[in-house]
Structure 1
């Protein structure tokens, strides 16, 4: 039984929305210099002050001076840049990569940005100050040499927070709506007044509370700037209807977010200022709105009951918020852009589910969130829905109707797995029941958590490569010496070597993450963000210093399916059936199954040969290296290598694969996943919290797969690794239910930082009411078996191939990439190909 009644009647789309969307995507996104320039000005003036005060004063200086704009037709205002979908830069985290890419950022394959010569010059001038002062430089100094070596050899990458802000948080939006920043400032004042000068933590705590007050004042000043701008525009506006809209905007911005919201319209505007300004304070992405349908509902309900608003206008306001969420943007370095392709900021907004008492709280706004995503048809917000046994059936049918549109939304999450998983990590039952999703698939309790989700990408295939080479990569000893693979007499010995390589690499990953964690606490505390997270003000610490109630670090592993299939193939073919020798398998992998060596392979072998000569005490001679290289290349292209590779590939193809409802194989995959999830649990972070594993890749399975050689599951060198907990592309051949059954047999509870399960359907599979019912039945069946998450692409292979050939005809084609959706034509070709390769299911 639910707590609320709800109206399932569809609401038509306002004419305003398509025009707002068209204006938003009229031009390529642009990099602007204002924030970097203003930040640097402030830092130069505050060098003798505590860092948290410097951060607050810089935030204030930016908000007082950054250019502002109200765009045509907007009802919700506040823009980080003058250019639609533009972005600012954040040199306090890192800047060298952007300067190095000034001349290529506009033409790169993934997420290009326009940057003017004037902007380049302004950024170069500002960047001079930041040499030796960035979080990335400090983090590097804290890392051990073996950690840096492992990163150099692509064992893992912590690049997310190494070069950028952390983000990945949901703040107390509801408190801002209730008391405004005047109320939050008052809380800080009272806390400061309660301190004694002789308190042991007075110096740090008092300065933090002062920084909170400076930040609150800055936000109020910023909103008032918009109130004045709206009045100025209203005075010169000739259109009577637009004039009234501008006057209302001015009134809204004069009231919120300084005070508590008095209407649903003010609540929408207040929410947006928080969402936007968190992005100005820091470059962290995945700042997720969380349970929007819950904290916004009281304002909607009151206005509806008082006749102050219609459902149609409330829907239009929500649609406008959805458009604004696509206005925020972020420029990443070229390599990271490949891993996050699609200009995504991963702003996860979730609807439905239970409240703290375990009662379903689906309401009108839950349905209207789905309507908004239908109306706007853009990647942001990354809409999710919570599902449990008591979820209203019609709510899931409406969600399925959105899935059927093909935009990859919503993603579906299982309350009955996620809630107990969070309780096992130390959350109270009440807090766990009130979870939301961050970024891709990561659960947490809003307003109490610094989760450090997405803390690193760990490619589970790379340690297996080290097993075949006794811990070496490109001739360098990167991992421990676990012996020659040919000498391993049993599969247990081989598997144990893999676990040793895994645990060593995981330990180095932890070292990297903790070094970056410490650097952020020292150089980039965030008082504005921390003012909206418990218990920062009570503890007198920013979230970066451990101020949150719950503190985690959540790096994600991927390639589970590849590793399960690869190790099962080794066990079956080498040890059980003895159809091939380890030497033959190793040679097949070295020659990419007889398909010859790529340029990357040749470069790697050259380094390995030179390194081997050095270790043997020989003089490294270019002619000798070239001669050895020629012989290796010739051997890899020989008829014998080709024949051996084809034979082994055929044998591997016959070995059962994960994803086909085969209990023995699925149990093996579950154990393989434990090689990542279990070792990680024993580590702690500098904020006093624990590490918890996630099993999802964003879209890094493509670029990190490009750094990985051939694997014993038949995967060719430099091709994508399997995404999330999904089977390897094309290996699940027994239908969607069989695939779901296999994936459900993994331990989703232990991967408490989230698991990601992708499926792709032909549009005909969801046609009509019967198609929707079958689809909802699949989700319920998977969740009954304790799967955690599902997401879907509903698009034909033919459509995607045509969109590759004629991108101009598919400007608005949105697809599900990994834990997010993106415009298909903005993705790199390698990522487009990966989506096309996924198995196309039908009922």
Structure 2
């Protein structure tokens, strides 16, 4: 008999009601926070920035409207409307100001905005001119870095426009001590300072800001306690009246004081989770090892008879629903890269404890059940797997995968723990890692990881090799020489490395500029109160207060680059089946295939603009001719035949993802061109850079900025996602693909790797299907792969959902390091998911 409770628990009737209310309307932008923030900032202009941040946070929490939604058992909402979002002009505002009239109709993640809200925001925004983190960051960047960003080599837009986030705080400590405990700790530290200390001014103001912020949170919870009492007194339904009275008692107790019950612990957790995202617009605020810090409260109440497994499940399900109530508006370009309204709140279960014992418990199973019940994108549920993971837990997780919602994602302790130790974490801290956002490991409550610091498109430096560093008639990279004059493959590969190294250095410059800007203009005292050792060091996480400090930008396009460089090496240099001149010509002309309509129009406009700058004009007929030529491709039969021949040669080459030793070893070497140079750099917080190999979903919009590549990928189409093989190129089955991906060096990519696979539902049918599926994961992890995630949905279902979205309102799929409602994604991203290789079996 299993030592775990493994039965499926029934879903409470309350949960579907809460979910339905959440998705009744388009998410809405609200202006309350922006107004209150601006009011406070206008009154505190003479004060230190850390003090201003704390006072603004307190002013917001004192006055922002609060609401308790119908049927809720866990309360606290950042907005009046479900899934609404507030505005954070201290980071950036100009993009929103320019998109206020279009954000409700855009393809990716539209938001409703009332005319009243538009008018209010347009009054608020002028105050922030010249005061944002994005403006300061831009002023710190080297001109060459700005140029590289403009030419889509990399984008640091995540933190350029927004807060940082990507962190897990000390949830367990808050549950155990409450914010009164944090306040007492800060006061003790403050009393230990001397006015003559060289850093007294900075430390004292930081510690006072922590106290101000935590006191504001306590008062905010008291507002909810009062509201619940008011609603209870007016409620005629005895059952709901009792629920509201319990809510009032919970909010009066937590998060000010230690949690005494499982319900109080969940309520305290939620206040922390929601208010972190009220302080800053950073996403990927990840709950971490929920099954570990919540378990003592669950077990104690179960033993006392205060809860049953069924009532505990209902409360957990309520938290899962609340995690989907939070939202964030991004600029149109970023929305394409993060499509699906995702906040990447990664919640972890399973794995080892700090002593190396298996940590799976009953609450781990409850977490799986909650995702089964709610079938929502949030939380981004992850499970840690190691050699001691119980098979019962693996099967329960496989059942969740079989639902098709793309959860859970699977992570390998046997790779991640040593990779974190290689970055300086202690063994105990590494064993206690959790996942942040998409796929990024870190030690909770001790780390400022700056994960997702930038997206680096590894295909763009290859384009610069073919153009001698020139892009759109601008010399943006080093002049590595005319490609046709490169006599050996080593010459060619070294030119690629030179372009990579140059652009990686510029990305570091851009990231460090943004890092400094956040420290100067947007330190976060509330967040910092829950990260070691900010109180001890007397500084915010933005200034280096955390124990561990990293910056983790991610590279993507590994499969394209491996297949491309292998094609150049084989066809041009070894077999001499194609000249470099012909290959370059084929790439310039997109193998004679033409380009998408939107891109053809964009390029036509650029040509006309360049001619105009030379003092000339292009007649209307000429403009139409350019556009048609770009749209339709080569009209010359001889040219088309030559391009077709080159494509055929490329298609006949071995591809990454089919368990072929030579190409797999080559892919490992290609990945090093990004991961090894990056780890030589430092950040302003005293930490190091560490590479990730994943794109979120930016492989689609950034692929739309990338020309044709020598692997046969057509211009402006998606780049391969994560470390997965290029779509359709892994033809030897899922095990062969996993074997190939496992040969990459996952240890050096300590900021995370992402391996997507897609299965037809029939592959996981019955117990035999689940057993085969878990064996695939075990086999991949035994070969030192780091991460796996899955879509289990047929191509036919996805195509039908694209045509008839009204019939698939609850279809959730795995996008990249997160899941999202399929119908909420842009068509280009939907197409990318549809086109991934569909495995029929094992």
Per the alignment, residue 490 of structure 2 pairs with 492
Per the alignment, residue 391 of structure 1 pairs with 389
Task: State the Cα deviation string for residues 762-782 of structure 1 (Å, max 9, x = none).
Answer: 000000000000000000000
Structure 2: distance between partners of 1:601 and 1:489: 34
Structure 2: distance between partners of 1:260 and 1:34: 30
Per the alignment, residue 731 of structure 2 pairs with 733
Per the alignment, residue 622 of structure 1 pairs with 617
Change over 3 Å in CA distance of 1:836–1:623 after alignment to 2? closer
Question: How far 1:645 moved relative to its partner?
Answer: 1.5
- Does structure 1 residue 456 correspond to structure 2 residue 451? no
Per the alignment, residue 663 of structure 1 pairs with 661
Task: State the Cα deviation string for residues 167-214 of structure 1 (Å, max 9, x = none).
Answer: 000000000000000110000000000111111111000000000000
Task: State the Cα deviation string for residues 398-434 of structure 1 (Å, max 9, x = none).
Answer: 0000000000000000000000000000000000000
3-state secondary structure, aligned to 2:644: helix
3-state secondary structure, aligned to 2:592: coil
Q: Which moved more, 1:592-601 or 1:403-412?
A: 592-601
Structure 1: distance between partners of 2:512 and 2:830: 34
Question: How far 1:636 moved relative to its partner?
Answer: 4.0
Structure 1: distance between partners of 2:807 and 2:86: 30
Match of residue 109, structure 1, among 104, 107, 110 = 107
- Does structure 1 residue 697 correspond to structure 2 residue 695? yes
Per the alignment, residue 284 of structure 2 pairs with 286
Per the alignment, residue 710 of structure 2 pairs with 712
Contact 2:608 2:617 (8 Å CA) reproduced: no
Per the alignment, residue 516 of structure 2 pairs with 518
Task: State the Cα deviation string for residues 633-673 of structure 1 (Å, max 9, x = none).
Answer: 49943223311211111110001000000011000000000
3-state secondary structure, aligned to 1:593: helix
Structure 2: distance between partners of 1:410 and 1:295: 20
Match of residue 828, structure 1, among 826, 833, 836 = 826
Question: How far 1:7 moved relative to its partner?
Answer: 1.4
Contact 1:417 1:787 (8 Å CA) reproduced: yes
Per the alignment, residue 600 of structure 1 pairs with 599
Match of residue 560, structure 2, among 540, 562, 568 = 562
3-state secondary structure, aligned to 2:322: helix
Question: How far 1:530 moved relative to its partner?
Answer: 0.2
3-state secondary structure, aligned to 2:590: coil
Contact 1:475 1:611 (8 Å CA) reproduced: no
- Does structure 1 residue 430 correspond to structure 2 residue 425? no
Question: How far 1:838 moved relative to its partner?
Answer: 0.4
Match of residue 586, structure 1, among 580, 584, 595 = 584
Structure 2: distance between partners of 1:208 and 1:603: 49
Structure 1: distance between partners of 2:470 and 2:369: 54
Per the alignment, residue 482 of structure 1 pairs with 480
Structure 1: distance between partners of 2:429 and 2:675: 23
Task: State the Cα deviation string for residues 193-243 of structure 1 (Å, max 9, x = none).
Answer: 011111111100000000000001000000000000000000110100000
Change over 3 Å in CA distance of 1:492–1:610 after alignment to 2? farther
Change over 3 Å in CA distance of 1:631–1:287 after alignment to 2? closer
Contact 1:451 1:551 (8 Å CA) reproduced: yes
Q: Which moved more, 1:561-570 or 1:6-15?
A: 6-15
Contact 1:135 1:162 (8 Å CA) reproduced: yes
- Does structure 1 residue 654 correspond to structure 2 residue 652? yes
Match of residue 471, structure 1, among 458, 463, 469 = 469
- Does structure 1 residue 38 correspond to structure 2 residue 36? yes
Match of residue 642, structure 2, among 640, 644, 658 = 644
Unaligned stretches of 5+ residues in structure 2: none
Question: How far 1:532 moved relative to its partner?
Answer: 0.2
Counting matched residue pairs gives 837
Match of residue 86, structure 2, among 85, 88, 92 = 88
Per the alignment, residue 258 of structure 2 pairs with 260
Structure 2: distance between partners of 1:136 and 1:129: 15
Structure 2: distance between partners of 1:299 and 1:197: 43
Per the alignment, residue 95 of structure 2 pairs with 97
Per the alignment, residue 24 of structure 1 pairs with 22
3-state secondary structure, aligned to 1:622: coil
Task: State the Cα deviation string for residues 229-261 of structure 1 (Å, max 9, x = none).
Answer: 000000110100000000000000000000010
Change over 3 Å in CA distance of 1:137–1:279 after alignment to 2? same
Task: State the Cα deviation string for residues 289-315 of structure 1 (Å, max 9, x = none).
Answer: 000000000111111111111111111
How do residues 750-829 of structure 1 correspond to structure 2 at under 5 angstroms? Answer: 750-829=748-827
Q: Which moved more, 1:206-215 or 1:623-632?
A: 623-632
Structure 2: distance between partners of 1:577 and 1:659: 23
Structure 2: distance between partners of 1:725 and 1:822: 20
Structure 1: distance between partners of 2:187 and 2:514: 32
Question: How far 1:605 moved relative to its partner?
Answer: 7.7
3-state secondary structure, aligned to 1:38: helix
Change over 3 Å in CA distance of 1:610–1:10 after alignment to 2? closer
How do residues 313-392 of structure 1 correspond to structure 2 at under 5 angstroms? Answer: 313-392=311-390
TM-score by length of 1: 0.97
Structure 1: distance between partners of 2:413 and 2:219: 41
Unaligned stretches of 5+ residues in structure 1: none
Per the alignment, residue 676 of structure 2 pairs with 678
Per the alignment, residue 79 of structure 1 pairs with 77
Question: How far 1:490 moved relative to its partner?
Answer: 0.7
Structure 2: distance between partners of 1:655 and 1:15: 56
Q: Which moved more, 1:268-277 or 1:589-598?
A: 589-598
TM-score by length of 2: 0.98
Contact 2:141 2:509 (8 Å CA) reproduced: yes
How do residues 202-221 of structure 1 correspond to structure 2 at under 5 angstroms? Answer: 202-221=200-219
Question: How far 1:626 moved relative to its partner?
Answer: 9.5
Structure 2: distance between partners of 1:107 and 1:329: 17
Task: State the Cα deviation string for residues 536-586 of structure 1 (Å, max 9, x = none).
Answer: 001011000000000000000000000000110111111111111011111
Change over 3 Å in CA distance of 1:678–1:620 after alignment to 2? farther
Contact 1:755 1:789 (8 Å CA) reproduced: yes
Contact 2:592 2:643 (8 Å CA) reproduced: yes
Change over 3 Å in CA distance of 1:571–1:300 after alignment to 2? same
Per the alignment, residue 120 of structure 2 pairs with 122
Contact 2:756 2:816 (8 Å CA) reproduced: yes
Structure 2: distance between partners of 1:494 and 1:551: 36
Per the alignment, residue 62 of structure 1 pairs with 60
Contact 2:156 2:510 (8 Å CA) reproduced: yes
Per the alignment, residue 151 of structure 1 pairs with 149
CA RMSD of aligned residues (A): 1.8
Contact 1:591 1:597 (8 Å CA) reproduced: no
How do residues 163-178 of structure 1 correspond to structure 2 at under 5 angstroms? Answer: 163-178=161-176
Structure 1: distance between partners of 2:764 and 2:392: 16
Contact 1:596 1:637 (8 Å CA) reproduced: no
Contact 2:604 2:626 (8 Å CA) reproduced: no
3-state secondary structure, aligned to 1:108: coil
